[in-house]
Amino acid sequence: MHNQDERTSGCRISDSWTYRGLKTVVLENELLRVSLIADKGADVFELSHKRTDTEFMWRTPWSVRNLGLWTPSTGDGDNTWHDTYIGGWQTIAPTGGPPQKYANADIGQHTEATLMPWDAVIVEDTPERVSAKFSVRTVRTPFWIEKVVTLEANSPVLTVTDTLTNEAEEEAEAQWGQHVALGDPFLTPNCRLDMAPGDFFVPEGATGEESTRLQDNQTGSWPNAVGKDGSKVDLSTFPPKSDRVQDFAVFKNQKEGWYAVTNPDRGVGIGITYPVETFRYLWYWQVFGGGMGYPWYGRTYNVGLEPFTSLPAGIPEPGSDQRTSMIFAPGETKSATVRAVVYESTTGVSHITQDGMVTTL
């Protein structure tokens, strides 16, 4: 775009960038810089706080790859996702979790939209507000997906609105979520996790790993859990990488949708807000140096705190036979707005409103 307004102050936006050959859209204001890779799932791969030079989006060891210049060595649906996973924040839809059969189609891990190029268009470009819309039509599933990303002047809040439309002339199911991954160097054992009160469960054999810290097949309420050895575990804390543990848990029954991770040493944190009437579950993926073998090889220290409509692959809750997938009628459209807010604190957070107002401890 040769005639975009190239401001150097206030809100700014540009879709004239490429990163490793992939079309990239950059939004920024006085406080934040946000970059999305349109050609790879419209992934948010950069969300930086300027004053403290803090990057919140975790990157995998291999980071961004141009899929057009590389061929996976096998077609395994789980491996293909991980080979191309850059970290950061993905809109996951219309399937989430492990590979599955969807109306006779093979669907890999967290695909298919996350591996597709999305169209991108700037829809607002003023010093007070900038906004870009990303859109994609899936192939093996019948969905049209839009994502609108917005920043306002002097605001620490990034607003993301997803819209899913079932273009089929029959009912279609979806597992829809926000795959937000945080990791080192922002994430350290000194960090603190706060969230709205709720219940949780740890699925039996969730990680398939021996290096778990949480007891399988347990239920409880935030933040108190039981360790594999019967000890008490405070879920608001993060174990050191030297513990070599990996776990998966799911939170539910939150009356409000929010969580926050604070780094007291940097004096900064990030919160995510989400509508619990849509995103009923919060997946908590934890890799504290314990992911051995492919793809982590013990290298990573990261968590995923992921608001979702459903459990992985739409499976029922423990003790139930009712699938948790969201059902779309023919032609039905559903939207939901999620916000990321950056705040300064050394003590943690007691509350975040849905519009991103933070109350610190």
| 5 pLDDT more than 80 | no
Assess contact for 160 and 148: CB atoms under 8 A.
yes
Q: Measured between alpha carbons, how far is residue 339 from residues 30, 148, 190, 205, 236 in Å?
A: 18, 11, 24, 32, 21
Model pLDDT for residues 107-131, shown as the tens digit of each residue: 999 989 999 999 999 999 999 999 9
pLDDT tens-digit map of 129-153: 999 999 999 999 999 999 999 999 9
Domain CATH for 353: 2.70.98.10
Please state the rounded mean pLDDT for residues 187-191: 98
Domain that holds residue 198: 12-360
Sequence-distant (≥ 6) Cβ neighbours of residue 291 within 8 angstroms:
209, 246, 297, 298, 300
The DSSP code sequence of 236-297 is TS---GGG-EEEEEEEE--SS-EEEEEETTTTEEEEEE--TTT--EEEEEEEEB---STTTT
Helix (H) / strand (E) containing 164: strand 157-166
Phi and psi, residue 175, nearest 5°: -115, 120
Q: Which range has the worst mean pLDDT, 47-51, 71-75, 271-275, 321-325? A: 71-75
Centroid of chain to Cα 290? 20
| Cα distance between residue 112 and residue 138, in whole Å | 7
Residue 151 domain-assigned?
yes
CA distance linking residue 18 with residue 29, whole number of Å = 20
Burial state string for 281-302 with b = 16 or more CB within 10 A and e = fewer than 16? bbbbbbbbbbbeeebbeeebbb
Q: Classify residue 228: in a domain, yes or no.
A: yes
295-305 residue pLDDT tens: 999 999 999 99
Q: Report d(CA 152, CA 127) in Å as an integer.
A: 8
In a domain? residue 3: no
Residue 42: the pLDDT is 98
Is 2 a member of any domain?
Answer: no
Q: Is the pLDDT of residue 1 over 60?
A: no
CA 3 to chain centre: 33
Rounded-to-integer distance, Cα 180 and Cα 158, Å: 13
Domain-embedded: residue 169: yes
At residue 2, the pLDDT reads: 62
Q: How confident is residue 265, by pLDDT bands cut at 50, 70 and 90?
A: very high
Q: Is residue 7 part of a domain?
A: no
pTM of the model: 0.96
Q: Is residue 1 part of a domain?
A: no
Q: What is the DSSP letter of 114?
A: G
Q: How many CA atoms lie within 13 A of 197 on its CB side?
A: 1
Q: What is the pLDDT of residues 30-77, one digit of tens each?
A: 999 999 999 999 999 999 999 999 999 999 999 998 988 888 888 888
Total number of domains constituting the chain: 1
- Is residue 348, in this structure, part of any structural domain at all? yes
**Would you list the DSSP string of 30-93?**
SSEEEEEETTTTTEEEEEEETTTTEE-B-B-TT----GGG---SS--HHHHHHHH--BSEEEE-
Beta bridge partners of 129: 152
